């Protein structure tokens, strides 16, 4: 009887143990299911995060390109503005200097006329002549330091951007539209015209022009006579 009781107790222990194992298996199965779902959720969140980051990165790259383009355009506009301001300042400086120097040029003209016309004979007159010629040289040197250069026009072809024709006359020495004589000197300032040169321009050889006019008249007479003859016929 005692043995039967012990067997019953052992059987009960075995049953309890089996029940415990079954419960553990169920618990483990229950625990495994949420872990898988959690992993799936984490993977989905990670994908969404990566996708959002990629979209954000693409947006930032577009904004960067836009800002870079704006920066380049603003930098170019500023550089153009700086160059334009510098050019305008240079032009204004040249205009002011030109106005001042142009008012001095008539004085230079008077010195040159005096040098050509006056021929001092006495020692006193020669001393006076050397004195104002010294002033003239100083004045010319100051003009050179300011960038003023005189034009060389005699023998050059007439150019309305540089010269102003005052007189025209026939010339055996110069062809037509070439400068015979300089009446008033012209000047450059830093490569630009400070004052146009007043010049006398050749009309070409006078005799040749006369012969050409005679020949032209003869040709016209022949043409006219042929026209009259054809009308009579």
pLDDT (tens digit per residue) in 153-167? 999 999 999 999 999
Rounded to a whole number of angstroms, the distance between the first and last alpha carbons of the chain is 175
Residue 231: how many CB atoms within 10 A of its CB? Answer: 7
> Rounded to the nearest 5°, which phi and psi values hold at 59?
-65, -40
CB < 8 Å & 24+ apart, contacts of 82-86: none
User: Which range has the worst mean pLDDT, 101-105, 196-200, 222-226?
Assistant: 222-226
State how many domains the chain has. Answer: 2
Kindly state whether residue 141 falls inside one of the protein's structural domains. no
Specify whether 3 is located in the same domain as 84: yes
pLDDT of residue 105: 92
Kindly state whether residue 128 falls inside one of the protein's structural domains. no
Specify whether 33 is located in the same domain as 99: yes
Kindly state whether residue 198 falls inside one of the protein's structural domains. yes
Q: What is the pLDDT of residues 31-54, one digit of tens each?
A: 554 555 556 667 777 777 888 888
Specify whether 90 is located in the same domain as 158: no
**Whole-number Å distance between alpha carbons of 90 and 84:** 10
Domain final residue, candidates 103, 130, 164: 103
Kindly state whether residue 113 falls inside one of the protein's structural domains. no
Q: Which residues contact 185 (CB under 8 A, 6 or more apart)?
A: 108, 109, 112, 150, 151, 197
Q: Which residues contact 167 (CB under 8 A, 6 or more apart)?
A: 183, 200, 201
pLDDT of residue 11: 46
Domain final residue, candidates 82, 103, 124: 103
Q: What pTM, to 2 d.p., does this model score? A: 0.54
**Whole-number Å distance between alpha carbons of 129 and 119:** 9
3-state secondary structure 138-158: HHHHHHHHCCEEECCCCCCEC
pLDDT of residue 51: 80
Specify whether 15 is located in the same domain as 87: yes
Residue 3 confidence (pLDDT) above 60: no
Q: What is the pLDDT of residues 4-30, one digit of tens each?
A: 444 444 444 444 445 555 555 554 555
Kindly state whether residue 127 falls inside one of the protein's structural domains. no
Q: pLDDT > 90: what percent of the chain?
A: 26
Tell me the average pLDDT of the chain.
Answer: 76
**Whole-number Å distance between alpha carbons of 181 and 184:** 9
What residues make up the domain containing 74? Answer: 1-103
Kindly state whether residue 142 falls inside one of the protein's structural domains. no
Mean pLDDT across the stretch 118-123? 76
Mean pLDDT across the stretch 78-87? 90
Specify whether 91 is located in the same domain as 37: yes
Kindly state whether residue 67 falls inside one of the protein's structural domains. yes
| Nearest in space to 160 (alpha carbons), one of 125, 186, 140 | 186
Kindly state whether residue 180 falls inside one of the protein's structural domains. yes
């Amino acid at each position: 009887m005692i043995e039967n009781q012990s067997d019953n107790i052992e059987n009960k222990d075995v049953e309890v143990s089996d029940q415990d194992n079954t419960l553990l298996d169920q618990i483990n199965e229950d625990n495994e299911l949420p872990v898988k779902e959690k992993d799936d959720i984490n993977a989905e969140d990670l994908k969404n995060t990566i996708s959002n980051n990629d979209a954000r990165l693409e947006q930032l790259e577009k904004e960067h390109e836009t800002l870079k383009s704006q920066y380049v355009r603003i930098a170019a506009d500023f550089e153009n503005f700086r160059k334009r301001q510098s050019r305008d300042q240079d032009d204004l400086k040249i205009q002011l200097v030109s106005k001042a120097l142009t008012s001095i040029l008539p004085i230079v003209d008077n010195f040159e006329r005096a040098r050509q016309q006056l021929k001092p004979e006495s020692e006193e007159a020669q001393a006076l002549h050397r004195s104002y010629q010294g002033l003239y040289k100083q004045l010319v040197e100051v003009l050179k330091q300011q960038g003023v250069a005189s034009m060389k026009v005699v023998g050059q072809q007439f150019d309305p951007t540089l010269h102003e024709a005052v007189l025209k006359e026939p010339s055996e020495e110069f062809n037509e539209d070439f400068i015979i004589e300089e009446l008033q000197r012209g000047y450059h300032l830093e490569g630009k015209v400070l004052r146009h040169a007043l010049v006398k321009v050749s009309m070409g050889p006078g005799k040749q022009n006369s012969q050409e006019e005679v020949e032209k008249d003869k040709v016209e007479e022949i043409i006219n006579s042929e026209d009259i003859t054809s009308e009579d016929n």
